[in-house]
């Protein structure tokens, strides 16, 4: 049986690539990528040349079959999504399941993650931290799920696009305007920005901007009273 390596790659700053990730890319026979053009730029920067195969969300099941066939032939494969850890709001889970079902070893090569980066500077994670990824773009579903998450009383981390960040913050401020929020924009990149405040304060900041750009990770603090209320309501 062969080995599939799941490789974390930088979310912005190329200096965050790990030595182990580079050594893995150099050692494997083939590299599978969410976007071969993006991964080729990364490999070129570090002077690594390897055959590339596409494995993106739209073709992951089909691509997984091809990759498993390569593993069956004894080839070693590394998989990288566009940025961060594959399988965390990125493709990768289908491929991992297929490779393991075929009897191959699946080895994680950990690397940068917007989730971990924001959690490390949020300052108030508590014992439980819920990672939800992207909420629904549909207003009703987004608000409903947000209410459910807030009712747990636990801290939460979400991902959001520049097109919906103000909408998300508006929903949050409408539900609990005093809830503490930390927003990380373009984490590890040249224009990285981390701001914190109440939901109402952070909303006012972003709503006042003429243009909002970048990728966002949003930390929402926990609320012990909310958790207590939720437990009481269940009784």
Joined together, the tokens standing for residue 171 give 């929903």
How far is it, in rounded angstroms, from Cα 4 to Cα 162? 34
Return mean pLDDT, the chain.
93
Nearest alpha-carbon partner for 29 in 91, 75, 71: 75
Q: How confident is the model at residue 124 (pLDDT cuts 50, 70, 90)?
A: confident
Nearest-10 crossing angle of helices 93-101, 60-72? 40
pLDDT tens for each residue of 170-214: 999 999 999 999 999 999 999 999 999 999 999 999 999 999 999
Q: What is the structure's pLDDT at 225?
A: 58
> What is the rounded average pLDDT of the residues 157-167?
97
Contact 7, 21 (CB under 8 A): yes
Q: What is the pLDDT of residues 10-57, one digit of tens each?
A: 999 999 999 999 999 999 999 999 999 999 999 999 999 999 999 998
């Amino acid at each position: 049986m062969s080995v599939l390596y799941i490789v974390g790659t930088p979310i912005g700053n190329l200096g965050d690539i790990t030595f182990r990730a580079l050594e893995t890319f150099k050692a494997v026979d083939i590299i599978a990528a969410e976007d071969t053009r993006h991964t080729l730029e990364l490999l070129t920067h570090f002077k690594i040349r390897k055959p590339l195969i596409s494995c993106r969300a739209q073709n992951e099941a089909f691509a997984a079959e091809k990759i498993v066939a390569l593993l069956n032939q004894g080839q070693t494969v590394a998989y990288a999504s566009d940025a961060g850890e594959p399988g965390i709001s990125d493709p990768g889970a289908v491929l991992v399941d297929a490779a393991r079902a075929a009897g191959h070893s699946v080895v994680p090569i950990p690397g940068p993650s917007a989730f971990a980066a924001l959690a490390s500077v949020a300052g108030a994670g508590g014992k439980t931290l819920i990672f939800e990824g992207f909420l629904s773009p549909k207003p009703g579903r987004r608000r409903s799920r947000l209410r459910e998450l807030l009712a747990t009383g636990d801290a939460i981390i979400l991902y959001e696009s520049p097109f919906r960040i103000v909408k998300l913050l508006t929903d949050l401020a409408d539900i609990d305007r005093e809830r503490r929020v930390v927003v990380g924009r373009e984490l590890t990149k040249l224009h990285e920005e981390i701001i914190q405040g109440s939901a109402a304060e952070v909303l006012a900041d972003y709503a006042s901007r003429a243009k909002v750009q970048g990728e966002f990770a949003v930390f929402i603090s926990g609320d012990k009273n909310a958790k207590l209320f939720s437990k009481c309501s269940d009784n």
